[in-house]
Structure 1
């Protein structure tokens, strides 16, 4: 396993504190699930402070320039910060069985290996070699349009976002929003009430929903509503790499 993919010494232990059966049930029912207080306030502050360190990132994206919204984000370069790499490597094995179950239900042939390093090797062999974990930064009036983080042929169907700022103190507004589009139905929105250090797991692209005639696919998108005032930072952990 590459050094940048090795979980930190306490990452697995902190994940054991969560009820992963409940998390799986919530992902099945709603396409998202919260992990409250995944990071401590000092960890959040340390990660947010990295945004100004050019040497940690491979590029910077101004959302308005590409029609993505307003605000900006930066993709980390390898090697990833230890905490980011630890979370990426330790959360993935808990999600791979859910991802495989979803694909089975949706009639998709793709299956995901148990270890994240093996999945990253698959991505790299297909030319998806650029790391995708990122920091996002929003100011007053900024927002993120509804979107999907796909990046290439190999897409892991779940991802993780962690709020690094404290609502009501650092910013107001800026809610995390999910929408789902079911066949022949209007879109449904879900607002996830995150506090500093809380994480949300959510579907990247599609998820299965059980209907009267079996499972069908629901299309998912996510974004961030307008920040009313202040500054908001988020850590995004995407489990596949990019072309």
Structure 2
């Protein structure tokens, strides 16, 4: 057995245990009511530092994006290449089945026929059969004055409706400003903004595109976008776990 396979097995066991320890009934309720929910201390400070330290090492990544060049904001990010780092890959695998239950419930409420398989490998096969083969987990880096415009991470025709962002830096110590922001637009109403407070190692689960809301005539879809407010000082790193692959 290789060192890499031992490390992967340890990461998988660790990821499955910490995901199972989350209060999923409460998380599902938060997602249903607000479109986002926080998992506290999903990563340890040491794990956060280890992932953030990967950023300068190009061998871990398939591409490097400077946001200003594309009108996305200011700051930069790198998409991981396959194979993903053990812990990130293990968390992606462990989180997916829990979130697939929420996603399938949302589609049922909205009267949509699509159902997501319980196993992430089966969902990735659907992505790859659709021509979406490039990995989407990414590592983001912000410096003073950087921000991320409100957006949606879709990447192709097949998109999983929930994603996860984990804050790797400590607010107040490593950076100031740089809050995670979610906006929701309901028909014939002004946008509602949600600022989600996070500390190092916390993960926010949120809707990628839209979510169901109960109306007088049944459930309807509301549109969501997410971003990061302007960083006032320091350096902020975040890892994003997106469950569908890209074209």
Distance 2:14 2:86 in 1: 11
Q: Is the partner of 1:75 in helix, strand or coil?
A: strand
Once the two structures are superposed, the pairs formed by residues 159-174 of structure 1 within 5 Å of their partners are 159-174=163-178
TM-score in terms of structure 1 length: 0.97
Using the alignment, how far apart are the partners of 1:110 and 1:66 within structure 2? Answer: 32
CA deviation after TM superposition for structure 1 residue 9, in Å? 1.8
- 2:38 corresponds, among 29, 34, 37, to 34
Paired with 1:40 and 1:208, the residues of 2 have a C-alpha distance of: 33
Find 1:96's aligned residue among 100, 105, 109. Answer: 100
Paired residues for 1:1-243 under 5 Å: 8-243=12-247
Aligned length: 240
Whole-angstrom CA distance in 2 between matches of 1:124 and 1:28: 29
DSSP-derived class of the 1:26 partner: helix
- TM-fit CA distance, 1:217: 0.5
How much does 1:97 deviate?
1.0
Task: Determine the C-alpha separation between the residues in 2 that align with 1:214 and 1:195.
Answer: 37
In 1, the alpha carbon distance for the partners of 2:155 and 2:110 equals: 21
Deviations 1:192-226 (A, max 9, x none): 00000000000000100011221010000000000
Matched residue SS, 2:200: coil
- Gaps spanning 5+ residues in structure 2: where? none
DSSP 3-state at the match of 1:52 = coil
- For the aligned residues, what is the CA RMSD? 1.2
* Alignment gaps of 5+ in structure 1: none
Displacement of 1:104 in angstroms is 1.2
